[in-house]
Amino acid sequence: MIRKAKVADIKQIYNLIMEFALKEEMLPRSLSELYDNLRDFFVFEESGKISGCCALHVMWEDLGEIRSLAVKTEEQGKGIGAKLVEACIEEMSHIGLNKVFALTYRPEFFEKKKFLKIDKAELPHKVWADCIKCPKFPDCGEVPVMYEQV
């Protein structure tokens, strides 16, 4: 089941994100950061266990970011990630955002959801605040993708 995250989910979300961050497949998020951004997160829960998470973070008046998309390795390929992204896109409409972007090593996943590859230069400088924390900065190899409401 996809639902908004709760405070009690944060440690499971943290562990899930860190599983991929330790493999340098995504940015790590501190517990403090996760608590601060709790309302951005959706989770996929089954039998009390969180097996996926994704956040929609508002960047500016017309732009959001889909970030921290993670699905447990053994649960991948079951459509959980797609459902999490769909929840973010639905929320995007409700809160009045026109477009969202993601920085990803798997652009083909997002392209299936009608995201288009874009040039990094199209994104505002504010976007790069998180990137500065990354040990791979400035050449991480992530591909920017954008989804725009029609």
What is the pTM for the complete model shown? 0.89
Q: Which CATH architecture has domain 2-148?
A: 3-Layer(aba) Sandwich (3.40)
Average pLDDT of the chain to the nearest whole number: 90
Query: How far apart, in whole angstroms, are the C-alpha atoms of residue 149 and residue 101?
Result: 12
For residue 74, give the DSSP letter: G
Instruction: Dump pLDDT digits (tens) for 77-107.
Output: 999 999 999 999 999 989 999 999 999 999 9
Query: Residues 37-72: pLDDT tens digits?
Result: 999 999 999 998 999 999 999 988 889 999 999 999
Type of residue numbered 38: L
